[in-house]
Structure 1
Amino acid sequence: MKRIYIFILMALSLSSCDDFLTVESDTGVTSLNYWKNASDLDAANYGLYATFRYNIANNSSVVYRDRGLPFDVLGIWTNPSNNDLSRGWTQTHGCINWNNEYKIVNEANLILDNIDRADLTGEQNDFFRGQALGLRAYVYFYMLQNWGDLPLIVHAEDVGMKARTPWQEVAERCIVDLREAISLLPVADELKDIEGNLITSKQAVSSGTCHAILAHLYAWKAALNKEPDLLKQAILECDSVIADKSYALANTIHEVCASVIPGNSREGILECDFKDTQYDVKGWGAYMAGFCQWWPIVPLTTPSTARRGLLISNSTVYKMFPDPDDQRRNEYFYKLDSMAKVSTVTTKGNAYVQKYQRIIIHESGNQKGQIKSYKANEIIIRLADIILLRAECKARTGDYAGARIDLNRIRNRAGVKDYAGTDADLQDEIQDEREREFFCEGISMRYFDCVRNGNYRERLRGKFKTLTEQDVEDGALFIPVGKMAFFNNTLMLQTPYWKANGYAY
Structure 2
Amino acid sequence: MRKFTIILLHIVMMMLQSACNGLMDVEPENSMTYYNYFKTERDIEMIMLEAYRSYRSNYQYSTPRAVSGEVMDECSEYLPEALRILDATTINAAEPRCSWYSYYSSISQAMMVIENIDKAGLSTDRYNYWLGQALFYKALCYFEIVRDWGDCPYVPTSYKVEPLPRRPWREVLDMAIADMKKATTLLDMWDNLTDSKGNKITTKQIPGKEAAWAMLAHMYAWEGSLLNNKDTLQKAVDAATWVIEEGGIGWAADPEEVCTKVMIGGAPESIFEIEVVYSDFLMMSTPINLEYYYQTWPIRPYTVPGDVTKKQMKIKAERVLEMYPKEDKRREAYFYKPEEMIDSVETRGWALMQRRRQIIEDKTWSNPSSWFQNFSGNIIRTRLADILLLRAECYAKMGKDNLAKPDLDRVRARAGVSGYSVSEGPIYRAIFKEREKELLLERHRWYDMVRTGYWKTDMTKEYSELTDQDIEDGALYLPVHNGAFNSNKLMRQNRYWFKQQ
**TM-score, scaled to structure 1:** 0.91
Give, in angstroms, the shift of residue 139 of structure 1: 0.9
d(CA) in 2 for partners of 1:282 and 1:136?
A: 28
Deviation per residue, 1:241-292 (Å, 9 max, x gap):
1113431121111110111111111111111111243434659875422221
Are the structure 2 counterparts of residues 103 and 18 from structure 1 closer, same or farther at C-alpha, using a change threshold of 3 Å?
closer
d(CA) in 2 for partners of 1:441 and 1:386?
A: 13
Question: Secondary structure in 1 aligned to 2:382?
Answer: strand
The answer to whether the Cα contact below 8 Å between 1:474 and 1:496 also exists between their aligned partners in 2 is yes
Query: Superposed, which structure 2 residues align to 1:92-171 within 5 Å?
Result: 93-171=95-173
Deviation per residue, 1:292-336 (Å, 9 max, x gap):
111111111012234221111111111111x10111111110122
Which residue in the other structure is 1:371 paired with? Answer: 372
Which residue in the other structure is 2:274 paired with? Answer: 272
Q: 1:316 aligns with which of 315, 319, 323?
A: 319
Which residue in the other structure is 1:257 paired with? Answer: 259
Which residue in the other structure is 2:38 paired with? Answer: 35
Are the structure 2 counterparts of residues 3 and 429 from structure 1 closer, same or farther at C-alpha, using a change threshold of 3 Å?
farther
The answer to whether the Cα contact below 8 Å between 1:450 and 1:456 also exists between their aligned partners in 2 is yes
Which residue in the other structure is 2:221 paired with? Answer: 219
Give, in angstroms, the shift of residue 33 of structure 1: 3.5
The answer to whether the Cα contact below 8 Å between 1:282 and 1:374 also exists between their aligned partners in 2 is no
Give, in angstroms, the shift of residue 95 of structure 1: 2.8
Question: What is the identity, as a one-letter code, of the residue corresponding to 2:83?
Answer: P
Which residue in the other structure is 1:439 paired with? Answer: 440
Give, in angstroms, the shift of residue 380 of structure 1: 1.1
Deviation per residue, 1:418-438 (Å, 9 max, x gap):
112348511100000000001
The answer to whether the Cα contact below 8 Å between 1:274 and 1:282 also exists between their aligned partners in 2 is no
The answer to whether the Cα contact below 8 Å between 2:289 and 2:379 also exists between their aligned partners in 1 is no
For structure 1, which segment, 197-206 or 426-435, has the greater mean C-alpha deviation from structure 2 after superposition? 197-206
Give, in angstroms, the shift of residue 170 of structure 1: 0.6
Are the structure 2 counterparts of residues 283 and 453 from structure 1 closer, same or farther at C-alpha, using a change threshold of 3 Å?
farther
Which residue in the other structure is 1:12 paired with? Answer: 12
d(CA) in 1 for partners of 2:302 and 2:2?
A: 38
Query: Superposed, which structure 2 residues align to 1:188-207 within 5 Å?
Result: 188-207=190-209
Give, in angstroms, the shift of residue 41 of structure 1: 1.4
d(CA) in 1 for partners of 2:195 and 2:357?
A: 31
Question: Secondary structure in 1 aligned to 2:114?
Answer: helix
Are the structure 2 counterparts of residues 335 and 220 from structure 1 closer, same or farther at C-alpha, using a change threshold of 3 Å?
same
Deviation per residue, 1:98-137 (Å, 9 max, x gap):
1121111111111112211112111111111111110111
Are the structure 2 counterparts of residues 387 and 65 from structure 1 closer, same or farther at C-alpha, using a change threshold of 3 Å?
closer
- Does residue 485 (structure 1) correspond to residue 484 (structure 2)? The answer is yes
Query: Superposed, which structure 2 residues align to 1:349-364 within 5 Å?
Result: 349-364=349-364
CA RMSD of aligned residues (A): 2.2
d(CA) in 1 for partners of 2:399 and 2:365?
A: 60
Are the structure 2 counterparts of residues 276 and 484 from structure 1 closer, same or farther at C-alpha, using a change threshold of 3 Å?
closer
Which residue in the other structure is 1:470 paired with? Answer: 469
Are the structure 2 counterparts of residues 62 and 31 from structure 1 closer, same or farther at C-alpha, using a change threshold of 3 Å?
same
Question: Secondary structure in 1 aligned to 2:74?
Answer: coil
Are the structure 2 counterparts of residues 225 and 276 from structure 1 closer, same or farther at C-alpha, using a change threshold of 3 Å?
same
Q: 2:331 aligns with which of 326, 329, 337?
A: 329
Question: What is the identity, as a one-letter code, of the residue corresponding to 2:364?
Answer: S
d(CA) in 1 for partners of 2:28 and 2:449?
A: 48
The answer to whether the Cα contact below 8 Å between 1:257 and 1:331 also exists between their aligned partners in 2 is yes
Give, in angstroms, the shift of residue 58 of structure 1: 1.1
Which residue in the other structure is 1:421 paired with? Answer: 422
Which residue in the other structure is 2:447 paired with? Answer: 448
Are the structure 2 counterparts of residues 282 and 133 from structure 1 closer, same or farther at C-alpha, using a change threshold of 3 Å?
farther
- Does residue 302 (structure 1) correspond to residue 304 (structure 2)? The answer is yes
The answer to whether the Cα contact below 8 Å between 2:285 and 2:374 also exists between their aligned partners in 1 is no
Which residue in the other structure is 2:187 paired with? Answer: 185
Q: 2:31 aligns with which of 14, 18, 21?
A: 21
d(CA) in 2 for partners of 1:278 and 1:367?
A: 23
For structure 1, which segment, 285-294 or 312-321, has the greater mean C-alpha deviation from structure 2 after superposition? 285-294
Question: Secondary structure in 1 aligned to 2:483?
Answer: helix
Give structure 1 stretches of 5+ with no counterpart: 23-29
Which residue in the other structure is 1:80 paired with? Answer: 83
Are the structure 2 counterparts of residues 365 and 292 from structure 1 closer, same or farther at C-alpha, using a change threshold of 3 Å?
same
d(CA) in 1 for partners of 2:68 and 2:254?
A: 29
d(CA) in 2 for partners of 1:269 and 1:283?
A: 26
Give, in angstroms, the shift of residue 17 of structure 1: 4.2
Give, in angstroms, the shift of residue 51 of structure 1: 1.8
Which residue in the other structure is 1:26 paired with? Answer: none
For structure 1, which segment, 476-485 or 116-125, has the greater mean C-alpha deviation from structure 2 after superposition? 116-125
The answer to whether the Cα contact below 8 Å between 1:283 and 1:378 also exists between their aligned partners in 2 is no
Deviation per residue, 1:318-377 (Å, 9 max, x gap):
1111x1011111111012223445x32x11011101111111112222454521222211
Are the structure 2 counterparts of residues 4 and 198 from structure 1 closer, same or farther at C-alpha, using a change threshold of 3 Å?
farther
The answer to whether the Cα contact below 8 Å between 1:285 and 1:376 also exists between their aligned partners in 2 is no
For structure 1, which segment, 302-311 or 278-287, has the greater mean C-alpha deviation from structure 2 after superposition? 278-287
d(CA) in 1 for partners of 2:383 and 2:82?
A: 29
Which residue in the other structure is 2:413 paired with? Answer: 412
Give structure 2 stretches of 5+ with no counterpart: 16-25
**TM-score, scaled to structure 2:** 0.92
Give, in angstroms, the shift of residue 229 of structure 1: 1.9
Question: Secondary structure in 2 aligned to 1:275?
Answer: coil
d(CA) in 1 for partners of 2:285 and 2:142?
A: 20
Count, aligned residues = 487
The answer to whether the Cα contact below 8 Å between 2:164 and 2:488 also exists between their aligned partners in 1 is yes
Which residue in the other structure is 2:387 paired with? Answer: 386
d(CA) in 1 for partners of 2:363 and 2:2?
A: 27
Identical pairs, percent: 32
Q: 1:50 aligns with which of 34, 47, 53?
A: 53
Give, in angstroms, the shift of residue 63 of structure 1: 4.8
For structure 1, which segment, 477-486 or 272-281, has the greater mean C-alpha deviation from structure 2 after superposition? 272-281
Deviation per residue, 1:412-462 (Å, 9 max, x gap):
1111111123485111000000000011122xx211101100121111103
Question: What is the identity, as a one-letter code, of the residue corresponding to 2:212?
Answer: C
Question: Secondary structure in 2 aligned to 1:189?
Answer: helix
Give, in angstroms, the shift of residue 204 of structure 1: 0.8
d(CA) in 1 for partners of 2:446 and 2:138?
A: 22
d(CA) in 2 for partners of 1:265 and 1:186?
A: 19
